[in-house]
Amino acid sequence: MKKTILITGCSSGIGYCTAHGLQARGYRVFATARRQESVEMLLAEGLESFQLDLNDSSSIRRAVEETLNRSNGQLYALFNNGGYGLPGATEDLSREALRAQFETNFFGWLELTNLILPVMRAQGYGRIVQNSSILGFAAMPFRGAYNASKFAIEGWSDTLRLELRGSGIFVSLIEPGPISTKFRANAMKAFERDIDIENSIHREKYTVVRDRLNKLGPTVPFTLPPGAVLEKVVQALESNPPKARYYVTFPTHMFGFLKRILPVSILDRLLAQAGHKHQ
Ligand X SMILES: NC(=O)c1ccc[n+]([C@@H]2O[C@H](COP(=O)([O-])OP(=O)(O)OC[C@H]3O[C@@H](n4cnc5c(N)ncnc54)[C@H](OP(=O)(O)O)[C@@H]3O)[C@@H](O)[C@H]2O)c1
Q: Which chain residues interact with ligand X by CB under 6 A?
A: 8-15, 33-35, 38, 52-55, 81-84, 104, 131, 133, 176, 178-179, 181-183, 186
Choose, from 84, 146, 206, 246, the residue flagged as catalytic. Answer: 146
- Residue 136 Cβ vs ligand X, minimum distance, rounded to whole Å: 8
Nearest CB to ligand X, comparing residues 121 and 278 = 278
- Residue 13 Cβ vs ligand X, minimum distance, rounded to whole Å: 2
- Residue 159 Cβ vs ligand X, minimum distance, rounded to whole Å: 19
How far is residue 166 from each of residues 69, 93, 124, 209, measured CA to CA in Å? Answer: 27, 41, 10, 46
Q: 26: left (phi > 0), else alpha (psi -120 to 50), else beta?
A: left
Active site residue 247: no
Torsion of the alpha carbons at 30, 223, 234 and 241, rounded to the nearest 10: -130
- Residue 151 Cβ vs ligand X, minimum distance, rounded to whole Å: 12
Please answer whether residues 145 and 97 qualify as being in contact, where contact means their C-beta atoms are separated by less than 8 angstroms: yes
Minimal CB distance residue for ligand X? 13
C-alpha–C-alpha distance, residues 225 and 151, integer Å:
23
Please answer whether residues 14 and 179 qualify as being in contact, where contact means their C-beta atoms are separated by less than 8 angstroms: yes
Nearest CB to ligand X, comparing residues 37 and 125 = 37
Nearest CB to ligand X, comparing residues 74 and 186 = 186
Nearest CB to ligand X, comparing residues 82 and 144 = 82
Backbone φ, ψ for residue 55 (5° rounding): -85, -5
How far is residue 259 from each of residues 130, 190, 255, 265, measured CA to CA in Å? Answer: 21, 29, 6, 11
Q: What is the rounded radius of gyration, in angstroms, for the C-alpha atoms of the chain?
A: 18
Q: Is 82 helix (H, G, I), strand (E, B) or coil?
A: coil
- Residue 149 Cβ vs ligand X, minimum distance, rounded to whole Å: 8
- Residue 9 Cβ vs ligand X, minimum distance, rounded to whole Å: 3
Nearest CB to ligand X, comparing residues 155 and 168 = 155
Please answer whether residues 142 and 93 qualify as being in contact, where contact means their C-beta atoms are separated by less than 8 angstroms: no
- Is the bond into 263 cis (omega within 30 degrees of 0)? no
Residues belonging to the chain: 279
Neighbours of 153 (CB within 10 A): 22
User: Catalytic residue positions?
Assistant: 146
